[in-house]
Structure 1
Amino acid sequence: MSTETRIPPTTAEPTTNGLDRFFKITERGSNVSREIRGGLVTFFTMAYIIVLNPIILSGVVDGSGTMIGGTTDLTQSKLLVAVGTAVVAGVMSILMGLVANFPIALAAGLGINGLITGMVITHSSDKITFADLMGLVVIEGVIILVLVLTGFRKAVFRAIPATLKVAISVGIGLFIAYIGVIDAGFARRPTTPGSVPSELGIGGSLDGWPTLVFVVGVFLIAVLLIKKVKGAILIGIVAATVLAMVLEAIFHLGPRVFDDKGALTNPDTWALTVPSLPSSITNTPDLGILGQFSLLGSFEKLGIITASLFVFSLLLADFFDTMGTVVAIGTEAKLLDEDGNPPHTDRILVVDSVAAIAGGAGGVSSNTSYIESASGVEEGARTGLASVVTGVLFLLATFLAPLFAVVPSEAAAPALVIVGFLMMTQLTNIDWNDMEVALPAFLTIVLMPFTYNITVGIGAGFIAWVLIKIAKGHAARIHPLLWIVTGFFVLYFVKTPLESLLAG
């Protein structure tokens, strides 16, 4: 990363001094331009959630006979979710910056939104609604907040062995790199039954202009980083977007289309966003989805056991995904202390807990800390000012949704791949000659991308760590909280048969 000659702030304006002192910008070796740049990069890297969250949540009719947002119109449902997603993400990212002064942004968490949609489909006969399940998200967020305020969540955070913290960071790096190549279509699920789980491009070869945009973006960002060009990642995203718009204008590729069986009929097209100039750059946001939740509806329709197990699943996902993300971002920003803990851990966790509540109350699914913030950190972000910038952009996106929606995933994905590579450089901090720590670290790292789930990787690492310690006769060295957490992970892995057993 490039370095700059710092000018003593002797002639700086009072406002600048106040901003610098509040966010500790100079103290952390940064400056305002870097923070703004980092906030911009983080936004463009994670802005896909404004498009993706409506795709995941909309289109499914719940027990009330309507789609999420209380409408029967798919376009209206998607618009409501998009605006709600941007509003909650904007408010919570700003809150993270102001309260915790940490360079991490928040938005609707992937995985939980899919879980909610799956629950609506699975329990359609119970007349379950999106509002009912959002109520469970609120309850889960309240429980998480209580665990933070009592100090339990922070204590667990500090009880994690240093090696596992490194492994979590590396695993997330590999995970987001994998997300990048999948989002760009560089790697795909084969259409032929019985073939390998994933393959290169289309039919085992690179084909299609969108994939070219991704490849150009990766190499451009890499070259700019090697040359220590400021704003390398942001420049790469913008340049790739411009290239995508030119290609779309020439070849009219259009969006992906799926047949009745869910099979992709035109694989050489854009994954989520068609990069074309919008007819209008502004729109009036509809906030109608905010407040659409029911606290007790799920308990009445699903029963206490099923609803409680769903809350437990949400709890574990939020609890440990955030821990892994915070460690990874703190490591990349060099903000961790000698024990691997970030500054103001309690504040970070409080804001993240409130974000879960806000996401449920906002009707858009639990909001959580985003690992894509690492792209902004790599661009120079070190303080909460970057999070504030990202949050403001999310709020602006509610008015300028057509403009921000121009960036295709193929243009943003290169940032994820490059950041994933940078995070994996921490592998050297793991003693691979010591099987007692190396095997749990290995499982933590590889299972995140293999299962497409951060929590699974962390859980496997915890369980392996405890089992190996027991096998070597070192059970006394295991932190008491690790016993408790590992027990919860065991329950997490067997929750489906446990739910069936209790229900039967």
Structure 2
Amino acid sequence: MPAKSRRPVKGASAPAPAAESGTPADVVAGTGTLPRRSDGPQVRPKNGLDRYFEVSARRSTVGREVRGGFTTFFTMVYIVLLNPIILTSIPGLDGTLGADVSGTVLPFPAIAAVTALIAGVMTILMGVVGRYPFAVAAGLGINAIVAVFAATQLSWPEIMGLIVLEGLLITVLVLTGFRRAVFEAIPPQLKTAIAVGIGFFLTIIGLADAGIIRPGIPLISFGVNGQLAGWPILTFIVGLLLMSVLVVRKVRGGLLIGIVATTVLAIIIEAIADIGPRISNGEEVNPRGWALQVPALPEDVVSTPDLSLLGNVSLFGGFERIGVLAAVLIVFSLMIADFFDTVGTVTAVGAEGNLLDKDRNLPRSQPVLLVDSLAAAAGGAGSVSSNTTYIESASGVADGARTGLASVVTGVLFLVTMFLSPLVLVVPSEAAAPALVIVGALMISQIRHLAWDDLSLVIPAFLAIALMPFTYSITNGIGAGVISFVLLRLAVGRRGDIHPLMWVISVLFLIYFALEPLQQLL
């Protein structure tokens, strides 16, 4: 356990109260554990499954966990299609999309199948070992970085080998207790800001997935040429209104009901209007089309998964191709992104489910962090990029999930996706995006716990909140918040508020932000 700071941080946030629909009202706020005997009667587990996952202890039910697992799955299953799109979207040196420096292109169906396989296995492992409702899949942002490195510097086996190494390095940090110590060293005020920032991040992801906001001039544009045009956008709006009503009315499973109902509406609209996709071959060809999946009923429901990419890695080939120092910098950048993305996600999802303790830490976090680090290595070993804990897990938590049983359900659904991908991918992003916006709103409500009367705390919190959605990166937001927190607490003479590890984290982030000029010097 890390040493405590000598003085408490002024304005440290209090545990968040119980929140949204589907949340058991009698959960002890901020703990996520069984109440003390003095707080009320003990809850007897109904069976071995209940006892192991602490379903009754966390004031949940098996039905809630199953429902939450389905909700999480439907809000993140898009990764099965999006991950291969991203990994094959960067032109190689010869101009071929998805080609690495040797001209090799990873097969799209194989990426999709292994993406589902690794997500399924690691999410089940997260549920069984971590016993929290966190789902795992290929990390967005990291996969884009991987695609760029493959197109410009490394072969696919070489870059995936570096991902395996960074995952193993993080695993070592977990086993030594360093990763948990870093998690607990971040002050409560900044942890609250991280949760709020991720709420805004989820919101902007949802709006972008629905086509409400798009790249434009000067920065982003509203809909299609400033108008809410097209049936897909209307589908999103209907879904958002429906889910809002269900959540406000505290209908159990409101988010899941909304996703299913909106998907049915989308299928009907596509069958009548034949809208088609918005993007083809990496270019927007139909501004009024569906953002990712076209909600059309498939001719074939069952597909045979292609798992040929498993084990296609070269652990040290990257060091030979680009040199030791350049390879080490790539591993470092991937490790920092993986490391702190998980810190932010676990904090935010844990806060949403009232699973954190009074210091805004997750009880028994070590197994969660261990599975997450192994998932990074597993993603590299499967040639589908680093896997990490997904912020979309918050949607399942918002629908009632409180235990690892929900993760087991989500993981099983990912494994089923390998064989039923044509059917599962009928759900368009416009049907899942409203759930992300709703969950974003619920998470943003924690902003009331920030200490607004102390600018030396407000400015770091604001930077963390603002940079997450504006840079599309949880890591960037945490880095800006940590560096500014250390600087400003030092400036106001509150050195004792700075945990010793915060100095180490600040230096690591300074190096991380300076990686580009460092790489140019090599």
TM-score, L = length of structure 1 = 0.93
Report Cα offsets for 1:417-464 as digits up to 9, x if no partner. Answer: 000000000000001121111110000001000111110000000011
Q: Could you say which residue in structure 1 is the equivalent of 2:50?
A: 20
Mapping for residues 389-404 of structure 1, pairs under 5 Å: 389-404=409-424
Mapping for residues 369-408 of structure 1, pairs under 5 Å: 369-408=389-428
- Verify: 1:64 aligned to 2:102, yes or no: yes
Report Cα offsets for 1:201-221 as digits up to 9, x if no partner. Answer: 011110000001111111100
Shift of 1:306: 1.1
Shift of 1:475: 2.5
Q: Could you say which residue in structure 2 is the equivalent of 1:226?
A: 248
Moved more, 31-40 or 239-248: 239-248
Report Cα offsets for 1:169-213 as digits up to 9, x if no partner. Answer: 1100100110000011011112xxxx2201210111100000011
Separation (CA, whole Å) in 2 of partners of 1:338 and 1:4: 19
Shift of 1:473: 2.1
Matching residue within 137, 146, 155 for 2:172 = 146
Shift of 1:477: 3.0
Separation (CA, whole Å) in 2 of partners of 1:427 and 1:257: 36
| 3-state DSSP of counterpart to 2:137 | strand
Report Cα offsets for 1:331-360 as digits up to 9, x if no partner. Answer: 111111111111211111000000011000
- Verify: 1:217 aligned to 2:239, yes or no: yes
Runs of at least 5 residues in structure 2 that lack an aligned partner in the other structure? 1-20, 27-43, 89-96
Separation (CA, whole Å) in 2 of partners of 1:4 and 1:342: 19
Matching residue within 271, 280, 283 for 1:249 = 271
Separation (CA, whole Å) in 2 of partners of 1:52 and 1:111: 12
Shift of 1:252: 0.5
Q: Could you say which residue in structure 2 is the equivalent of 1:104?
A: 134
Q: Could you say which residue in structure 2 is the equivalent of 1:165?
A: 191
Q: Could you say which residue in structure 2 is the equivalent of 1:199?
A: 221
Change (3 A) 1:4 1:424: closer
The one-letter amino acid paired with 1:236 is G
Report Cα offsets for 1:132-184 as digits up to 9, x if no partner. Answer: 00000000001000001001111111110000000001100100110000011
| 3-state DSSP of counterpart to 2:125 | helix
Separation (CA, whole Å) in 1 of partners of 2:24 and 2:183: 34
Change (3 A) 1:414 1:129: same
Separation (CA, whole Å) in 1 of partners of 2:194 and 2:329: 26
| 3-state DSSP of counterpart to 2:276 | coil
Matching residue within 71, 74, 78 for 2:108 = 78
Separation (CA, whole Å) in 2 of partners of 1:386 and 1:477: 38
Given that 2:293 and 2:428 are in contact with CA atoms closer than 8 Å, whether structure 1 keeps it comes out as yes
Matching residue within 353, 357, 368 for 1:333 = 353
Given that 2:213 and 2:223 are in contact with CA atoms closer than 8 Å, whether structure 1 keeps it comes out as yes
Runs of at least 5 residues in structure 1 that lack an aligned partner in the other structure? 7-13, 69-76
Separation (CA, whole Å) in 1 of partners of 2:303 and 2:284: 31
Q: Could you say which residue in structure 2 is the equivalent of 1:10?
A: none
Q: Could you say which residue in structure 1 is the equivalent of 2:39?
A: none
Mapping for residues 305-384 of structure 1, pairs under 5 Å: 305-384=325-404
The one-letter amino acid paired with 1:19 is L
| 3-state DSSP of counterpart to 1:104 | coil
Report Cα offsets for 1:42-61 as digits up to 9, x if no partner. Answer: 00000000010010112411
| 3-state DSSP of counterpart to 2:516 | helix
Separation (CA, whole Å) in 1 of partners of 2:262 and 2:432: 8
Given that 2:279 and 2:292 are in contact with CA atoms closer than 8 Å, whether structure 1 keeps it comes out as no
Shift of 1:286: 1.5
- Verify: 1:235 aligned to 2:257, yes or no: yes
Mapping for residues 109-120 of structure 1, pairs under 5 Å: 109-120=139-150
Separation (CA, whole Å) in 2 of partners of 1:65 and 1:109: 24
Q: Could you say which residue in structure 1 is the equivalent of 2:211?
A: 185
Given that 2:171 and 2:370 are in contact with CA atoms closer than 8 Å, whether structure 1 keeps it comes out as yes
Separation (CA, whole Å) in 1 of partners of 2:394 and 2:159: 30
Shift of 1:307: 0.7
Runs of 4+ that moved beyond 4 A: 2-6
Mapping for residues 338-487 of structure 1, pairs under 5 Å: 338-487=358-507
Given that 2:24 and 2:59 are in contact with CA atoms closer than 8 Å, whether structure 1 keeps it comes out as no
Separation (CA, whole Å) in 2 of partners of 1:449 and 1:43: 23
The one-letter amino acid paired with 1:175 is F
Q: CA RMSD in A?
A: 1.5
Matching residue within 40, 56, 67 for 1:37 = 67
Mapping for residues 247-326 of structure 1, pairs under 5 Å: 247-257=269-279, 264-326=284-346
State how many pairs are aligned: 477
Shift of 1:4: 7.1
Shift of 1:472: 1.3
Separation (CA, whole Å) in 2 of partners of 1:3 and 1:344: 21
Separation (CA, whole Å) in 2 of partners of 1:331 and 1:265: 41
Q: Could you say which residue in structure 2 is the equivalent of 1:87?
A: 117
Separation (CA, whole Å) in 2 of partners of 1:148 and 1:462: 20
The one-letter amino acid paired with 1:414 is P
TM-score, L = length of structure 2 = 0.89
The one-letter amino acid paired with 2:214 is R
Shift of 1:2: 4.3
Shift of 1:5: 10
Separation (CA, whole Å) in 1 of partners of 2:515 and 2:23: 49
Q: Could you say which residue in structure 1 is the equivalent of 2:38?
A: none
| 3-state DSSP of counterpart to 1:400 | helix
Shift of 1:470: 1.7
Change (3 A) 1:496 1:339: same
Separation (CA, whole Å) in 2 of partners of 1:371 and 1:4: 21
Separation (CA, whole Å) in 1 of partners of 2:57 and 2:453: 38
Change (3 A) 1:20 1:263: closer
Separation (CA, whole Å) in 1 of partners of 2:209 and 2:25: 38
Report Cα offsets for 1:212-270 as digits up to 9, x if no partner. Answer: 111111110000011111110001111111111111101101112458xx652310001
The one-letter amino acid paired with 1:390 is T
The one-letter amino acid paired with 2:199 is G
Report Cα offsets for 1:109-138 as digits up to 9, x if no partner. Answer: 001110011112222xxxx21110000000
The one-letter amino acid paired with 2:449 is N
The one-letter amino acid paired with 1:438 is V
Matching residue within 146, 155, 162 for 2:181 = 155
Separation (CA, whole Å) in 1 of partners of 2:456 and 2:60: 39
- Verify: 1:130 aligned to 2:130, yes or no: no
